[in-house]
Amino acid sequence: MKLLKDFFFFFLLLDIDECARSTHDCGQGQLCINRVGGYICQCPSGHVVNERKECVDVDECTKFAGQVSEDLALLY
């Protein structure tokens, strides 16, 4: 078990912060989050990643078929 711990710690030290170095290829408007051995690109809430790795706005009107949640209804 100790060997596994040391191994992980070794990788932690070797990890490159792609987000800080700007070597990531996250699209515009995507949030870069550093991970050990890589990084992830996250879209803002209400957006999903399409096949071209772009964030696209989720059309809640189509998705929820005209149903408005109570929280959203207060806004109108």
Nearest distance from C-beta of residue 36 to Ca ion, angstroms? 6
CA distance 49 to 58: 10
Contact string 38-67 vs Ca ion (x = CB under 5 A)? -x----------------------------
Given 34, 40, 42, 49, the residue binding Ca ion (CB under 5 A): 34
Nearest distance from C-beta of residue 39 to Ca ion, angstroms? 5
Which residues does residue 41 pair with via DSSP β-bridges, in sequence order? 32
Dihedral over Cα of 70, 31, 54, 14: its sign = negative
Is there binding between residue 15 and Ca ion (CB under 5 A)? yes
3-state class (DSSP) for residue 17: coil
28: left (phi over 0), alpha (psi -120 to 50) or beta: beta
Nearest distance from C-beta of residue 47 to Ca ion, angstroms? 23
Contact footprint for Ca ion (CB under 5 A): 15, 34, 39
